[in-house]
Amino acid sequence: MCESRIGTVGIVVDDPEITPQLNAILHEYADIIVGRLGIPYRSRGVSIIALAVDGSMDAISGMTGRIGQLRGVSVKAAISRR
Protein backbone atom coordinates (compact mmCIF):
# COMPACT_ATOMS: atom_id res chain seq x y z
CA MET A 1 0.00 0.00 0.00
CA CYS A 2 1.41 3.39 -1.00
CA GLU A 3 1.55 6.14 1.58
CA SER A 4 -0.49 9.21 0.72
CA ARG A 5 1.28 12.57 0.70
CA ILE A 6 -0.09 16.10 0.47
CA GLY A 7 1.50 18.93 -1.43
CA THR A 8 1.24 21.69 -3.96
CA VAL A 9 1.97 21.73 -7.67
CA GLY A 10 2.71 25.00 -9.47
CA ILE A 11 2.25 25.17 -13.24
CA VAL A 12 3.13 28.05 -15.59
CA VAL A 13 1.69 27.84 -19.11
CA ASP A 14 3.53 29.94 -21.70
CA ASP A 15 1.68 28.50 -24.71
CA PRO A 16 -2.14 28.75 -24.48
CA GLU A 17 -2.55 26.25 -27.34
CA ILE A 18 -1.33 23.48 -25.01
CA THR A 19 -4.23 24.03 -22.57
CA PRO A 20 -6.46 21.20 -23.91
CA GLN A 21 -3.62 18.68 -23.47
CA LEU A 22 -2.86 19.99 -19.98
CA ASN A 23 -6.52 19.80 -18.97
CA ALA A 24 -6.72 16.22 -20.25
CA ILE A 25 -3.80 15.23 -17.99
CA LEU A 26 -5.32 17.01 -15.01
CA HIS A 27 -8.62 15.24 -15.65
CA GLU A 28 -6.86 11.86 -15.58
CA TYR A 29 -5.43 12.70 -12.15
CA ALA A 30 -8.61 14.29 -10.74
CA ASP A 31 -8.68 11.74 -7.92
CA ILE A 32 -5.51 13.23 -6.34
CA ILE A 33 -6.37 16.91 -6.96
CA VAL A 34 -7.95 18.44 -3.86
CA GLY A 35 -8.18 21.99 -5.24
CA ARG A 36 -7.22 24.03 -8.26
CA LEU A 37 -6.66 27.76 -8.76
CA GLY A 38 -6.12 29.15 -12.25
CA ILE A 39 -4.93 32.69 -12.90
CA PRO A 40 -4.78 34.05 -16.46
CA TYR A 41 -1.99 36.62 -16.27
CA ARG A 42 -2.93 38.37 -19.52
CA SER A 43 -0.47 41.26 -19.33
CA ARG A 44 2.41 38.73 -19.26
CA GLY A 45 0.79 36.29 -21.70
CA VAL A 46 0.91 33.32 -19.33
CA SER A 47 -1.43 31.31 -17.15
CA ILE A 48 -0.59 30.19 -13.64
CA ILE A 49 -2.20 27.13 -12.09
CA ALA A 50 -1.82 26.09 -8.45
CA LEU A 51 -2.94 22.62 -7.39
CA ALA A 52 -3.38 21.14 -3.92
CA VAL A 53 -2.79 17.38 -4.17
CA ASP A 54 -3.20 14.32 -1.94
CA GLY A 55 -1.93 11.04 -3.34
CA SER A 56 0.91 8.57 -3.60
CA MET A 57 4.34 9.76 -4.66
CA ASP A 58 3.97 7.59 -7.77
CA ALA A 59 0.72 9.34 -8.76
CA ILE A 60 2.01 12.86 -8.04
CA SER A 61 5.30 12.19 -9.84
CA GLY A 62 3.45 10.61 -12.77
CA MET A 63 1.23 13.64 -13.15
CA THR A 64 4.04 16.21 -12.86
CA GLY A 65 6.25 14.18 -15.20
CA ARG A 66 3.60 14.13 -17.91
CA ILE A 67 2.88 17.84 -17.46
CA GLY A 68 6.60 18.63 -17.64
CA GLN A 69 6.81 17.00 -21.07
CA LEU A 70 4.35 19.48 -22.57
CA ARG A 71 5.88 22.19 -24.76
CA GLY A 72 5.59 25.66 -23.21
CA VAL A 73 4.75 24.42 -19.70
CA SER A 74 6.83 24.56 -16.50
CA VAL A 75 5.88 22.54 -13.41
CA LYS A 76 7.25 22.24 -9.87
CA ALA A 77 5.96 20.29 -6.88
CA ALA A 78 6.42 20.67 -3.12
CA ILE A 79 5.39 17.49 -1.28
CA SER A 80 5.08 16.72 2.44
CA ARG A 81 7.71 14.45 3.95
CA ARG A 82 5.13 12.19 5.54
Domain boundaries, the chain: 4-79
Averaged pLDDT for residues 36-51: 97
Beta bridge partners of 74: 12
Q: Are 82 and 29 in contact (CB under 8 A)?
A: no
Averaged pLDDT for residues 51-60: 97
- The C-alpha atoms of residue 32 and residue 44 are separated, in whole angstroms, by 30
- The C-alpha atoms of residue 7 and residue 50 are separated, in whole angstroms, by 11
CATH number for 4-79 (one of 3.90.1150.10, 3.30.70.1150, 3.40.50.2300, 3.40.50.11610): it is 3.30.70.1150
pLDDT in tens, 9-35: 999 999 999 999 999 999 999 999 999
Cα-Cα-Cα-Cα dihedral sign, residues 55, 56, 61, 62: negative
